[in-house]
Amino acid sequence: MRITQGCFSFLPDLTDDQISRQIQYCLSQNWAVNIEFTDDPHPRNTYWEMWNLPMFDLPDAAGVLMELKECRKVYGDRYIRISGFDSSPGWESVKISFIVNRPKNEPGFRLERQESDSRNVRYTTTSYAVAERSEGQRYSS
Amino acid sequence: MQEQVNLREELEAVGIGEILKQLDQELIGLKPVKTRIQEIASLLLVERIRRKMELTSETPTLHMSFTGNPGTGKTTVALRMADILHRLGYVRRGHVVSVTRDELVGQYIGHTAPKTKEILKKAMGGVLFIDEAYYLHRPDNERDYGQEAIEILLQVMESQREDLVVILAGYADRMERFFSSNPGFRSRIAHHIDFPDYSNEELLAIAEVMLRHMNYKFTSDARDAFVRYIALRKAQPLFSNARSIRNALDRIRLRQANRLVADEDAILSVDDVQSVVASDVLASRVFETSQPAVVEQLTDKRRR
């Protein structure tokens, strides 16, 4: 099951050219661009790991794309996303975030229903990949 | 695919003729440099037309090396080059990131690669100008991290040719040594441009252009004195072409200001404030002594 998080996730995967144009837009808005990766695709997992530092003051997207290619070389089997931070209000706020790399095989999520008091039902989503194996090996095969 | 391209329209579209004309007028002398830039510009223009006609070829290598004595205009030409390349669409942004060894090479293990990459990221889409590039390589110190920076640079120069143009600059003899110890560099640089020293007449013309930009002018006596000044200054050690001229002019302006202020009751006209007279020039140390000053001897020794 293809996960749909952030911008453009209902579209087919962006090509590198399209990615670089999105990054260029972020840079033209003076946003800091950063690259993050994770192998825990749960929608509530907001803490992805960062690839290097956020990139400030770059004039051209090619620099970010260079880092993205480096990141893909190392973490090509995980989810990688690019986000643009706007600091103009005085704090950093995410203005855009989109997935630029995903594992080949995404097993998807299981929905668990729990009967609790007074016939209430609680729902839990669990990722098959996360449940199956430990961190770092989830999508490797 | 376009069957025909109107050369004049194409020239006007990129506005390159303008830059070349400007280059010709504002930079005095540097004949071989101008010829080479003209050639490069023509090649890029033709490439652009060929692209339109779908006669695609690979992106030409545009990395350059500027060699020449100090003060011969290497940095200035690099800035113009970035502009030309930008207008022809060979670099996307046309900015120049000017760096020296300090910004590329780290101080301890593992420090160099992130530093170099940071600079490369900044320079993407523009021109990376490495001043005194030979300092990157320290042959006397085998544990120097410069080599690491050079390797990263070479790799990016080769693989991201369409994103980045690297210009190396420095004195001719040391550059030669640098290239001989890094054979990869020489072959990856397509354009080796040598900046010649200026002749006395060119130096005078440069001085006059500089003065004009600052809204000053020589009286005819002062010009004669300056001609003599140039000849004397050139014979001294550490003469650095246009930069020496600029420094001399700065000192002349100081003396001129001092002369004007000396007479408190004077009523100054625009002409007075603008004019540099012979005495302002002749007060220079260069006229007093044919021996180089002690300070300059010292700095000369250090340079060797």
Q: Is a pLDDT exceeding 90 seen at residue A13? A: yes
pLDDT bracket for residue B302 (50, 70, 90): very low
Residue from B66, B47, B294 nearest B193 by CA:
B66
Say what the pLDDT of residue B1 is: 67
Say what the pLDDT of residue B290 is: 53
pTM: 0.81
Fold of the B200-303 domain? Helicase, Ruva Protein; domain 3 (1.10.8)
Say what the pLDDT of residue A36 is: 95
CATH class of A16-101: alpha beta
- All CATH 1.10.8.60 domain ranges in chain B, comma separated: 200-303
Dihedral angle over CA of B155, B161, B162, B166, nearest 10: 100
Q: Is a pLDDT exceeding 70 seen at residue B300? A: no
Provide the angle, in degrees to the nearest 10, between the axes of the packed helices B16-26 and B74-87.
170
The span from the CA of B62 to the CA of B248, in Å, is: 36
Query: What tokens were used for B200?
Result: 């006395």
State whether A58 and B121 contact (CB < 8 Å): yes
pLDDT bracket for residue B303 (50, 70, 90): very low
pLDDT bracket for residue B91 (50, 70, 90): confident
Q: What is the pLDDT of residues A56-112, one digit of tens each?
A: 888 899 999 999 999 999 999 999 999 999 989 898 899 999 999 999 888 889 999
Q: Do B99 and B128 touch, CB atoms closer than 8 A?
A: yes
The span from the CA of B287 to the CA of B252, in Å, is: 13
The span from the CA of A16 to the CA of B264, in Å, is: 70
Give the DSSP letter of residue A53. E
Query: Is residue B121 within 8 angstroms of chain A, CB to CB?
Result: yes
- Among the ranges given (A3-12, B9-18, B141-150), the one the predictor scored with the smallest mean pLDDT: B9-18
Mean pLDDT in residue range B208-212: 90
State whether A58 and B124 contact (CB < 8 Å): yes
State whether A62 and B164 contact (CB < 8 Å): yes
Q: Please tell me which of A115-129, B14-28, B71-85 the model is most confident about, judged by mean pLDDT.
A: A115-129
Say what the pLDDT of residue B110 is: 87
A55 closest CB neighbour out of B114, B121, B163? B121
Q: What is the pLDDT of residues B237-270, one digit of tens each?
A: 888 888 999 999 999 999 999 999 888 888 888 8
Query: What ranges do the domains of chain A cover?
Result: 16-101
Fold of the B7-195 domain? Rossmann fold (3.40.50)
CA B28 to chain centre: 13
Long-range contacts of B56-59 (CB under 8 A, 24+ apart): B59/B90, B59/B161, B59/B162
Q: Do B41 and B84 touch, CB atoms closer than 8 A?
A: yes
Say what the pLDDT of residue B289 is: 63
Provide the angle, in degrees to the nearest 10, between the axes of the packed helices B241-262 and B200-213.
50
- All CATH 3.40.50.300 domain ranges in chain B, comma separated: 7-195
The span from the CA of A60 to the CA of B95, in Å, is: 10
Say what the pLDDT of residue B15 is: 76
- Pairing between β-strand A32-38 and β-strand A49-55 as defined by DSSP bridges: antiparallel
ipTM > 0.85 for the complex? no
State whether A60 and B93 contact (CB < 8 Å): yes
